Amino acid sequence: MSTYYKAINWNAIEDVIDKSTWEKLTEQFWLDTRIPLSNDLDDWRKLSAKEKDLVGKVFGGLTLLDTMQSQSGVEAIRGDIRTPHEEAVLNNIQFMESVHAKSYSSIFSTLNTKSEIDEIFEWTNTNPYLQKKAEIINEIYLNGNALQKKSLQLSLKPFFSTLVFSHLFTILGITN
């Protein structure tokens, strides 16, 4: 009888990076529902309207990024996996990107009114700069080689965060 499906054996690992990555990811596991977001309300109330707007837009941009990474990013590199352990690592990353995207909604629902939340998502989904950045990133996911896709997946969050912050600081007239 031929093998229909192979069980993953974590006792026989081809690439030690898969095991160490899995362990690091599971050590850092968290859920937004386990973090007392309401503890930040006093600090939130001290921010100016401009600062609150900036935070909302930054988190909106990061929600866009995490959504894209959980939907397109991991799927783009899935075809280049070499081991079942690497696939398990990718499944973990994909899940955590979804958790990250959801966490921003939890933050919004704690700090903002429904109309403010709607405005944040409207801005995020229609801002031409964010959408252009998303288009460029997605183009690499669709047409890049394996190394480009994996490099992008690893470096995207710090890179995108810098782009979001620099754009918003420009909007607010904050320069140095």
- Per-residue burial over 70-98, b = 16 or more CB atoms within 10 Å of its CB, e = otherwise: bbebbebbeeeeeebbbebbbebbbebbb
> Which of the residues 4, 5, 104, 129 is marked catalytic?
104
> pLDDT tens digits, residue range 2-42?
888 999 999 999 999 999 999 999 998 889 899 898 999 99
The CATH homologous superfamily of the domain defined by 17-25+48-172: Ribonucleotide Reductase, subunit A (1.10.620.20)
- Please give the DSSP secondary-structure letter assigned to residue 174: -
Residue 141 is a catalytic residue? no
pLDDT category of residue 74 using cuts at 50, 70 and 90 = confident
> pLDDT tens digits, residue range 152-173?
877 876 665 666 556 555 555 5
0.75 surpassed by pTM: yes
Domain ranges of the chain: 17-25+48-172
> pLDDT tens digits, residue range 135-157?
999 999 999 998 898 888 778 76
